[in-house]
């Protein structure tokens, strides 16, 4: 099978990463890619790459020539674009937050505006591959997970599923600067970010908590997440250090077994042996998610360290993984 | 007044930093500096500096020519060297951990070996300037605080002093690579550390907790600290993100007032206004300690962000501050 | 003596650096500092600093309350501001390029616009301290040298003065990102600059060559400079690798002696011994300029490596050095 | 076709990179990998990777089970290992310098010791794919090119081939720290290398010049190369800024045409359009070599900027490219 791919919004970091992944994919090729601000230009004019893909406006993109369309647009801007894609009856993988939360009122509460396509929310599947694989196979519309929530959800899923996860969770997350996008802002200026470390948006309920509640909440009654992101001076990668309580009657081995069972056949989950912690380098430039389990001296307390590449497993890599599942391809195709 | 300074162990990062601070200090000059491995060499052969200080062996150092001697030796190696300095009746500022914990049995428990100079522990003062200033003035021997504990102790001291700090404390600390010293090890290799982030020594009771118990423990019954250090790819600086509970009956303003009162006249404490968090850059290349106070949505929960330069306020800068206090100099002399 | 200082344009990197230098200077204090875009704000709102200096508009600055005024404005914008300062009969140190080139037609040729204050050019002194110290003492107006030319001029001055420098010079210069300023631009975005190295503006006659011709030209007939700047992923510092020909009848020692003589009493020139090359770290966070001399196998060919901190010796540090000379202070005051 | 691969010396940076490339290659698989110091361990114990390849001693490696063997050993250590591989009649790709220079006396002159396998030099082919592709097809033994020379040779080959390259060449090269290997040394310590830039081994005839003479020398009589390498604070990548003279009667377009012709069908050569320069990011994490051509104002003078990933096109990537050519595979297999 050779899939034709459309990419809406190809000039940001996730769009460019996606384009490179598709070029490398043995069963997919780029049919078209869009940009409103750079229509008419080639990618080689925007990035240091020989990629000569010429960008078109979304309005000019031949939707029907694509087997699947990826949308890399900002939150809120994506809703109506997805609707257009679905009206053309093309399957869509949306990398924004617009189709991650099934309940429009939950969306409104966290994102502070009305969802214009509530009927499409009904058909959307939250594309966390290791958790929702079966629904993804049949999905016409994927809400591709956020980068931070993917680390937390994959890092705690085996415990939640087994209903042994305590409700109080502290996530101290650290992200490379590409997570803030290619837009110019002082906090992404080299001289400001380099040799620095910056907590940001701490102290209140961060939007990303919504996706943690979506996946973990049903299995961890009273879930109560404190989420503190930090910017670190690296290009790529997220490491989340997660402080949790687990049913103290479980032995250390029993906890490890829950993870081993849950992720036994997962090609991208890298479960670390006892004594090892996840580092950024376990995951960067791969689609992997590394998980380290560290018990604390007091029974029932654990630190879970989780890392991923924010542009791959945290965004475009997981999007391609979703595509592979949707079209019955080898799940790792183009991702190793 | 012009003080003559001896430095024992001048070739590590803290020793070199100290040497530079003394060169810059208006009322101090370097009398001699020692190194066992590089005796006979000049500092300019070891560092990219025009500093032509020639290193001597400790055994050859004219102790009595110094008004005060700084020791930058590894833990355990410092005890006997300090004893020699004190026998010569010269005041000493020890940057190792050997004279930080007054109780030799506590020292043995955390550092796994016997203290050979328990009588000197009796006279030693823990040199956390903002807390122990009065005792420092008269001290003949200072145990200069550790870098990590300084962030935690200064970040929580106003709450502990007011006895409103809850016992459960989670410290997610991030340190630049100079904190691991100049010794060659794979984790400090550029290619391994750069574009990486590494939790280390997590999951058990880290030695640095001893100093937190020393300062905060008496004021926070049942103190229970989880301490998770991480290596980040910067040269200098520590940022601690501290998750605490505070007496929930205190208003946000009341909490802030405790800090404002405690640090009103402290030249090196930089208390940040509401809405701001400490970043590395608030502190690096200065002797300052920056503190940001962020309330969480649930009453009584706070995140305290604290930053310092690990080589300055976390080591050599605080050592000079201690010297300034001991000799009645302007406390900021040579430090701004 | 206690000098009162005015700073025009305090919010860029050179302005902020200057402000910090003055705060640290034992014989100077900031009287006022200006910003058009941030008037009314305090520095602590713009930088991670406790500096509470409140910014005023230039039009509101009490010029006469300053003994000397530093101007950190962009090229072309500085000319008329300097004129206002000189009309108020206050001495001025201008960090822009507007008063570096004495001949208005030369200025026009390189900077592509007319000089509006040609009469002031007549009184301006090019503030390369090690070369023009005597004129600086009496100067009312200093054109503070550019960062790149300072490395080349100080790196080659002893040879030019002795008239043994061949005309063909290739300068391969590497600069930290702060040299591009705090303005937001894609090339200064962390993700673009980090893990990257970018030649820029190569292939044509770069403006900075004008200052090299100013200092070296009169002593090296037919001077023919190729200048290739590169952006490197560090915050601060410039290293220039300079390929030159020297009169081949001079022995290696004779060449070294020219430098030793020229810089014998210079507190900020760090002449490296044979076998050593300048590195960035020789100079960053200091006002020093380090120079390494490396002969090539073929007689008469040398590589000169020169480093400085672009914000200190390359800008604000040299500006303070100029102030110290102008007012008869210790030349190193506030700079070590 | 499915090739079985042996890797000798798999634990250094080039060995590990090669292992990853083979894992990703659609027509190759790792049969065995060796390490003397880490025999018995798995790669996952040495690197942050899920790669469970277990290392054996070279003496225990089943040579005959491999279709081709890559050797990633230090210079001088590789000669005899290659001889053993060739005795077993297995094709070899040697990443050391031992089989790059066909003349044993030239080898002795640059590497300061005797070549023990001069008869094998006769059959060895210098594996610069874009230049020697035809010989590589039939080769039993490849001397894989050095990282620095590859940038210079590919950057200048079209001019040399056309015999329009002037003899005097200045190469100002900048390399990421992985080029210095994983061995612990002070110059690779994070704190020493970060925020620094270090020229090294400048001023004398560097070994790498031998490979430039090998490729360019026959076409550029009197070739006279000055080569100045610098360490820059990035993990990967080399950028060479090359100052050359070209026959001044050639128009700018004629020079560009030479490159366009020479590299028209080369999948890994990225020839940049007029006005663009090569940056590290054009090449890192790819097997590409990017070339920018910049004329200087004076006729016949050019600056050529060339970049590559030192671990890919500069080492393991080119080694795989050689394998692809030797076995008649798609030349880009496993490399995009």
A273 inside 8 A of chain B by CB? no
The answer to whether residue A315 sits within a structural domain is: no
Please state the rounded mean pLDDT for residues A48-61: 98
Distance from CA of A309 to the nearest CA of B (A): 11
Task: Evaluate whether A213 touches A101 at the Cβ level (below 8 Å).
Answer: no
A interface test, pick of D17, D26, D50 with most A CB neighbours within 10 Å: D50
pLDDT at B183: 96
Distance CA B196, CA B179 (A): 16
pLDDT at A205: 76
Task: Evaluate whether C125 touches C136 at the Cβ level (below 8 Å).
Answer: yes
In a shared domain, residues A40 and A159: no
Task: Evaluate whether B283 touches B313 at the Cβ level (below 8 Å).
Answer: yes
pLDDT at D96: 98
pLDDT at C205: 76
The answer to whether residue D108 sits within a structural domain is: yes
Domain count for chain C, please give it. Answer: 2
Closest CA to B209 of B221, B187, B226: B226
Calculate the alpha carbon distances from C31 to A137, B334, C84, D100 in Å.
69, 23, 17, 67
Please state the rounded mean pLDDT for residues C245-272: 98
Whichever domain contains A232, its CATH number is 3.30.360.10
Report the 3 state secondary structure along chain D. Answer: CCEEEEEECCCCHHHHHHHHHHHHCCCEEEEEEECCCCCCCEHHHCCCCCCCCEEECHHHCCHHHCCEEEECCCCCCHHHHHHHHHHCCCEEEECCCCCCCCCHHHHHHHHCCCCCCHHHHHHEEECCHHHHHHHHHHCCEEECCCHHHHHHHHHHHHHHHCCCECCEEEEEEEECHHHHCCCCCHHHEHHHHCCCCEECCCCCCCCCHHHHHHHHHHHCCCCEEEEEEEECCCCCCEEEEEEEEECCCCCHHHHHHHHHHHCCCCCCEEECCCCCCCCHHHCCCCCCEEEEEEECCCCCEEEEEEEECCCHHHHHHHHHHHHHHHCCCCCCCCCC
CB contact under 8 A, B23 and C336: yes
Distance from CA of A116 to the nearest CA of B (A): 30
CB contact under 8 A, B279 and C23: no
Which helix (H) or strand (E) segment is C108 a member of? Answer: helix C104-111
With CA atoms as reference, the chain D residue closest to A279 would be: D48
In a shared domain, residues D159 and D298: yes
Instruction: Spot the catalytic one: B72, B129, B147, B289.
Output: B147
The answer to whether residue B324 sits within a structural domain is: no
C-alpha torsion sign, points A109, A115, A118, A120: negative
In a shared domain, residues C10 and C55: yes
The answer to whether residue D322 sits within a structural domain is: no
In a shared domain, residues C164 and C270: yes
Report the 3 state secondary structure along chain B. Answer: CCEEEEEECCCCHHHHHHHHHHHHCCCEEEEEEECCCCCCCEHHHHCCCCCCCECECHHHCCHHHCCEEEECCCCCCHHHHHHHHHHCCCEEEECCCCCCCCCHHHHHHHHCCCCCCHHHHHHEEECCHHHHHHHHHHCCEEECCCHHHHHHHHHHHHHHHCCCECCEEEEEEEECHHHHCCCCCHHHEHHHHCCCCEECCCCCCCCCHHHHHHHHHHHCCCCEEEEEEEECCCCCCEEEEEEEEECCCCCHHHHHHHHHHHCCCCCCEEECCCCCCCCHHHCCCCCCEEEEEEECCCCCEEEEEEEECCCHHHHHHHHHHHHHHHCCCCCCCCCC
In a shared domain, residues B182 and B292: yes
Residue with tokens 């997981």: A318
CB contact under 8 A, C23 and B336: yes
Q: What is the pTM of this model?
A: 0.97
pLDDT at A224: 96
Listed residues B87, B122, B157: the one ending a domain: B122
Distance CA D147, CA D158 (A): 19
Does residue A168 or residue B207 have the better pLDDT? Answer: A168
pLDDT at A203: 84
pLDDT at B1 over 80: no
Distance from CA of C318 to the nearest CA of B (A): 18
pLDDT at C206 over 90: no
CB contact under 8 A, C277 and D199: yes
Find the CB nearest C233 among D199, D234, D294: D234
pLDDT in tens, C314-331: 999 999 999 999 999 999
Find the CB nearest B188 among D189, D195, D235: D189
pLDDT in tens, A200-255: 999 877 889 999 999 999 999 999 999 999 999 999 999 999 999 999 999 999 99
Residue D298 CB: number of other CB atoms within 10 A? 10
Chain B residues with beta carbon closer than 8 angstroms to that of D13: 191
Closest CA to C55 of C82, C19, C90, C87: C19
pLDDT at A204: 78
Find the CB nearest C193 among A184, A190, A195: A190
Chain C residues with beta carbon closer than 8 angstroms to that of A13: 191
Task: Evaluate whether D175 touches C260 at the Cβ level (below 8 Å).
Answer: no
pLDDT in tens, B245-303: 999 999 999 999 999 999 999 999 999 999 999 999 999 999 999 999 999 999 999 99
pLDDT in tens, A156-186: 999 999 999 999 999 999 999 999 999 999 9
A193 inside 8 A of chain C by CB? yes
pLDDT at B206: 82
pLDDT at D205 over 80: no
User: D124 pLDDT band (50/70/90 cuts)?
Assistant: very high
Task: Evaluate whether C291 touches C278 at the Cβ level (below 8 Å).
Answer: yes
% of chain A residues with pLDDT over 70: 100
User: B12 pLDDT band (50/70/90 cuts)?
Assistant: very high
Find the CB nearest B186 among D176, D184, D186: D184
The answer to whether residue C334 sits within a structural domain is: no
Record the tokens describing residue D161, joined without a space: 């081939």
Q: What is the dihedral of CA B61, B67, B72, B77, to 10 degrees?
A: 60
Chain B residues with beta carbon closer than 8 angstroms to that of D188: 189-191
SS3 state of residue A311:
coil
Distance CA C222, CA C209 (A): 13
pLDDT in tens, D258-267: 999 999 999 9
pLDDT in tens, C115-162: 999 999 999 999 999 999 999 999 999 999 999 999 999 999 999 999
In a shared domain, residues C34 and C79: yes
Distance CA A133, CA A128 (A): 7
B interface test, pick of C20, C24, C28, C48 with most B CB neighbours within 10 Å: C48
Chain D residues with beta carbon closer than 8 angstroms to that of B194: 177, 190, 194, 233-235
**How many Å separate Cα A58 from the centre of its chain?**
23
With CA atoms as reference, the chain A residue closest to D20 would be: A336
pLDDT at D10: 98
The answer to whether residue B29 sits within a structural domain is: yes
Distance CA B190, CA B222 (A): 41
CB contact under 8 A, C290 and B48: yes
B–C: how many Cβ contacts below 8 A?
A: 21
pLDDT at A166: 98
DSSP 8-state secondary structure symbol assigned to residue A196: -
Distance from CA of D47 to the nearest CA of A (A): 8
CB contact under 8 A, D236 and C195: yes
pLDDT in tens, A318-327: 999 999 999 9
Task: Evaluate whether B230 touches B198 at the Cβ level (below 8 Å).
Answer: yes
Summary mean pLDDT of chain A: 97
In a shared domain, residues D90 and D199: no
D interface test, pick of B186, B190, B198, B309 with most D CB neighbours within 10 Å: B190
∠ CA C128-C130-C132 to the nearest 5 degrees?
60
B29 inside 8 A of chain C by CB? no
In a shared domain, residues C279 and C155: yes
Q: What is the dihedral of CA A126, A129, A131, A136, to 10 degrees?
A: 60
DSSP 8-state secondary structure symbol assigned to residue C12: S
Please state the rounded mean pLDDT for residues C293-303: 96
pLDDT in tens, B94-119: 999 999 999 999 999 999 999 999 99
Residue B61 CB: number of other CB atoms within 10 A? 22
Distance from CA of A275 to the nearest CA of B (A): 9
CB contact under 8 A, D189 and B194: no
Strands B68-71 and A301-308, sheet pairing: unpaired
CB contact under 8 A, B184 and D182: no
pLDDT at D1 over 80: no
With CA atoms as reference, the chain D residue closest to B184 would be: D184
D48 inside 8 A of chain A by CB? yes
Whichever domain contains C49, its CATH number is 3.40.50.720
In a shared domain, residues B163 and B102: no
pLDDT in tens, D75-120: 999 999 999 999 999 999 999 999 999 999 999 999 999 999 999 9
Calculate the alpha carbon distances from B66 to A86, B37, C292 in Å.
81, 22, 36
pLDDT at D319 over 90: yes
SS3 state of residue C240:
strand
The answer to whether residue B166 sits within a structural domain is: yes
Please state the rounded mean pLDDT for residues C248-258: 98
The answer to whether residue B326 sits within a structural domain is: no
Chain D residues with beta carbon closer than 8 angstroms to that of C255: none
pLDDT at C76 over 80: yes
A49 inside 8 A of chain D by CB? yes
CB contact under 8 A, C203 and D303: yes
pLDDT at D206: 82
D275 inside 8 A of chain A by CB? no
Chain A residues with beta carbon closer than 8 angstroms to that of D24: 336
In a shared domain, residues D281 and D216: yes
Chain B residues with beta carbon closer than 8 angstroms to that of C336: 23-24
Distance from CA of B199 to the nearest CA of D (A): 13
In a shared domain, residues A275 and A218: yes
pLDDT at A65: 97
C-alpha torsion sign, points C85, C90, C95, C97: positive
pLDDT at C74 over 80: yes
Calculate the alpha carbon distances from D16 to A270, C88, C151, D46, D72 in Å.
18, 68, 41, 10, 10
Angle between helices D252-262 and D147-161 (to 10 degrees): 120
In a shared domain, residues C18 and C116: yes
Distance CA B275, CA B294 (A): 7
A93 inside 8 A of chain C by CB? no
Domain that holds residue B256: 148-310
Distance from CA of A25 to the nearest CA of B (A): 26
Which residues of D are known catalytic residues? 147
Residues of chain A numbered 279-308 and touching chain D (CB < 8 Å): 279, 281-282, 285, 288, 290
CB contact under 8 A, C186 and A189: no
Which residues of C are known catalytic residues? 147
C-alpha torsion sign, points C64, C68, C72, C73: positive
C270 inside 8 A of chain B by CB? yes
pLDDT at C1: 76
Touching subunits of C (3+ CB pairs, under 8 Å) are A, B, D
């Amino acid at each position: 099978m050779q899939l034709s791919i459309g990419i809406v919004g190809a000039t940001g970091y996730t769009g460019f990463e996606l384009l490179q992944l598709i070029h490398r994919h043995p069963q997919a090729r780029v049919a078209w890619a869009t940009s409103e601000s750079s229509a008419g230009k080639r990618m080689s004019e925007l990035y240091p790459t020989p990629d000569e893909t010429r960008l078109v406006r979304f309005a000019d993109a031949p939707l029907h020539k694509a087997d699947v369309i990826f949308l890399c647009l900002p939150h809120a801007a994506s809703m109506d674009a997805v609707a257009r894609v679905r009206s053309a009856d093309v399957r869509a993988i949306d990398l924004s937050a617009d189709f991650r939360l099934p309940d429009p009122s939950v969306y409104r509460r966290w994102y502070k505006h009305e969802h214009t396509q509530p009927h499409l929310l009904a058909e959307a599947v939250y594309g966390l591959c290791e958790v929702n694989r079966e629904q993804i196979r049949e999905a016409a519309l994927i809400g591709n997970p956020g980068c931070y929530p993917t680390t937390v959800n994959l890092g705690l899923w085996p415990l939640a599923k087994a209903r042994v996860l305590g409700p109080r969770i502290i996530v101290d997350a650290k992200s490379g600067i590409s997570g803030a996008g290619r837009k110019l802002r002082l906090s992404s200026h080299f001289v400001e970010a380099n040799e620095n470390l910056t907590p940001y948006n701490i102290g209140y309920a961060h939007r990303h908590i919504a996706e943690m509640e979506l996946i973990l909440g049903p299995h961890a009654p009273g879930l109560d997440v404190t989420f503190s992101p930090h910017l670190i001076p690296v290009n790529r990668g997220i490491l989340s250090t997660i402080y949790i309580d687990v049913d103290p009657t479980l032995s250390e081995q029993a906890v490890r077994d829950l993870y081993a069972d849950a992720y036994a056949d997962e090609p991208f989950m890298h479960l670390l042996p006892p004594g090892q912690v996840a580092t950024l380098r376990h995951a960067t430039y791969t689609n992997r998610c590394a998980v380290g389990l560290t018990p604390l001296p007091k029974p029932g307390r654990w630190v879970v360290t989780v890392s991923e590449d924010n542009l791959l497993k945290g965004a475009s890599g997981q999007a391609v993984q979703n595509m592979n599942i949707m079209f019955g391809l080898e799940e790792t195709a183009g991702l190793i």
